[in-house]
Amino acid sequence: MFPNTVIIDRSRIKKLRKQEEERFVAERPRSSELLIQANKCMPHGVPMSWMASLFDHQPIFSTEGEGAYFIDVDGHRYLDMGQSDLSTICGFTPAPVVKAVTQQMSKGCQFLTPCEAAISVANELAERFSKPQWQFTLSASSANAEAIRVARRATGRETILLFDGKYHGHLDDTLVVSRNGKVEPLTEGLSSLASKNVRIVQYNDLNAVEAVLKQEPVACVIVEPVLTNVGIITPDPGFHQGLWELTRAHGAVLIHDETHTHAFAFGGLTNKWSLNADIVTLGKNFAGGVAIGAYGMSEGIANVFSKESDTDGTTYTTSALTGGTLFGNVLSLTAADAALKQVMTKSAYSHITKLGGMLADGIEAIVQDRNLPWSVQRMYCRSGVTYAPNLPRTAEEAFLSADAELNGVQRIYQANRGVWEAVSSAGPAISFPMVSDDIELYLKVYADFLDELLLGESTDG
Ligand code: PMP
């Protein structure tokens, strides 16, 4: 079943790649010019290095966006099917967020005191994710870093257990990989000490989880409700309940990373599938594109924050060291309040789920019409293609069926025709402002792409 069953002539992929790359660069003179300037003041000409590798072609410089579309400095307009890695699922200009943030900005954006919006957002998330206690950060990475710290504080243990194919953010603890059974830092520059405290097993393998939990004291297990960074990998029936029971039996904290899956369902998959966890982490998208992160905890876990006062009762410290100067700022919380209550509503999620079904059906029809032995991922608003007849159950299987070269040429072909789908490990997804015409545009370009590859015929100019 695996490895991949791409039956397309490799030389055709390479030829199309060259042709599309030349067109991409030729049609973007202003971005090329800016890249020369940017290279003089930033490594690879980008403000964060991930942007250099993210697109598999030279970066473009963007100017503005509206709804589900954005525009680059050369005037090209793109339908964003990746939503800036699921951070702009509310679209580029969600009206209630624009209004709330504009008003708040004119009244002050940072006080380093609590604000009323914090209470409102915490209560809204508490309701959606069934977690009574919340803390805020400015990214999902920071939410995960603090969740791990809280779990370590709660258990007095150090080891964390992750699943192969995971991504939980920009922290040494989780930027690790298992090579020949040994957990190592993903790249140079990361702490080798951090990786010593990490174990990695395959998704859907409860026996492997149990073996680790039996072997040593584990502080926490971190898992996504579905794996989202190796295409989509769904849990076997009983997988999450099994994790819940095993972590209960062995005294480990269970953390659900809903950073991406919050885009798929109202209240995330925690709510949709009635999942149990001690901590839920969020980020990226619930402030309408404004930087934010958060984690929700059970009352028991939140006890690690219990206040301790000194003998005269005047000085308070909390026993968990978390927080940052701009974390929980009024601007991000005001944005989150507007996004959650006025954009990320139940009916808006029904809308993207319906369009997500159309997208997956359309992709499936295109693949089947061309007799390609591939399978189609379906996860509410998100879809994707696995280059194998069956969907993978583990990251090992997903890696075997992956095809970076094919994904790369698809991305650049689409970009040349106004469809932006950046991250190669993620399939297309629907954002709240999209309408069915947007899905049709995506499907047309995807069908044209495959025809050009398979038949060698150009269907457009
Ligand atoms: N968790 C998951 C599941 C993610 O996919 C990501 C980013 N792709 C993160 C956490 C970290 O998000 P950020 O880079 O915004 O901190």
Ligand 1 centroid to Cα of residue 290, in Å, is 15
Catalytic-residue membership of 172: no
Between 315 and 47, name the one with better pLDDT. Answer: 47
Write the CB contacts of 452 (distance below 8 Å, at least 6 apart in sequence).
16, 413, 458, 459
- The single residue of 56, 72, 164, 257 carrying the catalytic annotation is 257
pLDDT of 306 higher than 90: no
pLDDT of 4 higher than 70: no
Q: Ligand 1 atom closest to Cα of 85?
A: 8
Mutate to test the pocket of ligand 1, among 163, 168, 332 (most ligand atoms within 8 A of CB): 168
Contact between residue 246 and residue 210 where contact means Cβ atoms under 8 Å apart? yes
Integer Cα distance of 286 and 22 in angstroms = 38
pTM: 0.95
Q: What share of the chain in percent tops pLDDT 90?
A: 89
Say how many C-beta atoms besides its own lie within 10 A of residue 295's C-beta: 31
Say how many C-beta atoms besides its own lie within 10 A of residue 215's C-beta: 11
Compute CA 58 distance to the chain's CA centroid, rounded to the nearest angstrom: 22
Q: Which H/E stretch holds residue 377?
A: strand 375-379
pLDDT given for residue 357 in this prediction? 98
φ, ψ of residue 188 to 5 degrees: the values are -65, 155
Q: Ligand 1 atom closest to Cα of 260?
A: 3
Contact between residue 336 and residue 292 where contact means Cβ atoms under 8 Å apart? yes
**Of 457, 326, 372, 431, nearest in space to 94 by CA:** 431
Say how many C-beta atoms besides its own lie within 10 A of residue 249's C-beta: 11
Q: What is the pLDDT of residues 317-350, one digit of tens each?
A: 566 789 999 999 999 999 999 999 999 999 999 9
User: In what order do the strands lie in the sheet containing 62-66?
Assistant: 62-66, 69-72, 77-80, 419-420
pLDDT given for residue 285 in this prediction? 96
pLDDT given for residue 54 in this prediction? 82
Q: What is the mean pLDDT of the chain?
A: 94
Q: What is the pLDDT of residues 370-384, one digit of tens each?
A: 999 999 999 999 999
- The single residue of 69, 131, 164, 167 carrying the catalytic annotation is 167
User: In what order do the strands lie in the sheet containing 253-257?
Assistant: 133-137, 293-297, 279-283, 253-257, 218-223, 159-163, 198-201
Say how many C-beta atoms besides its own lie within 10 A of residue 37's C-beta: 11
Mean pLDDT of 90-100: 98
Cβ neighbourhood burial of 232 (10 Å; 0-12, 13-18, 19+) = buried
Give the pLDDT band (50/70/90) at residue 119. Answer: very high
Give the pLDDT band (50/70/90) at residue 424. Answer: confident
Catalytic-residue membership of 284: yes
Ligand 1 centroid to Cα of residue 258, in Å, is 9
Measure Cα distances from 3 to 115, 203, 396 in Å: 53, 18, 10
Cβ neighbourhood burial of 86 (10 Å; 0-12, 13-18, 19+) = buried
157 three-class SS: coil
pLDDT given for residue 461 in this prediction? 43
pLDDT of 5 higher than 70: no
**Of 402, 453, 390, nearest in space to 19 by CA:** 453
Integer Cα distance of 264 and 429 in angstroms = 9
pLDDT of 426 higher than 80: yes
Q: Which of 195-204, 338-347, 426-435, 451-460 has the lowest mean pLDDT?
A: 451-460
Mean pLDDT of 144-164: 96
Which residue pairs from 443-449 have beta carbons closer than 8 angstroms and sit at least 24 positions apart in sequence?
A: 443/359, 443/362, 443/363, 443/366, 445/413, 445/414, 445/417, 445/418, 445/419, 446/363, 446/366, 446/410, 446/414, 447/366, 448/417, 449/410, 449/413, 449/414
Torsion of CA 418, 419, 420, 423, to 10 degrees: -150
- The single residue of 78, 131, 284, 446 carrying the catalytic annotation is 284
Catalytic-residue membership of 78: no
Integer Cα distance of 169 and 405 in angstroms = 25
Compute CA 210 distance to the chain's CA centroid, rounded to the nearest angstrom: 27
pLDDT of 151 higher than 80: yes
| C-alpha neighbours within 13 Å on the C-beta side of residue 395 | 19
Pocket around ligand 1: residues whose beta carbon is below 6 Å from it?
A: 85, 139-141, 144, 167-170, 224, 228-229, 257, 259-260, 283-284
Give the pLDDT band (50/70/90) at residue 57. Answer: confident
Q: What is the pLDDT of residues 237-275, one digit of tens each?
A: 999 999 999 999 999 999 999 999 999 999 999 999 999
Mean pLDDT of 55-59: 85
Joined together, the tokens standing for residue 341 give 């209550």
Q: What is the pLDDT of residues 183-228, one digit of tens each?
A: 999 999 999 999 999 999 999 999 999 999 999 999 999 999 999 9
pLDDT of 7 higher than 90: no
Q: What is the pLDDT of residues 68-88, one digit of tens each?
A: 999 999 999 999 999 999 999
Compute CA 152 distance to the chain's CA centroid, rounded to the nearest angstrom: 24
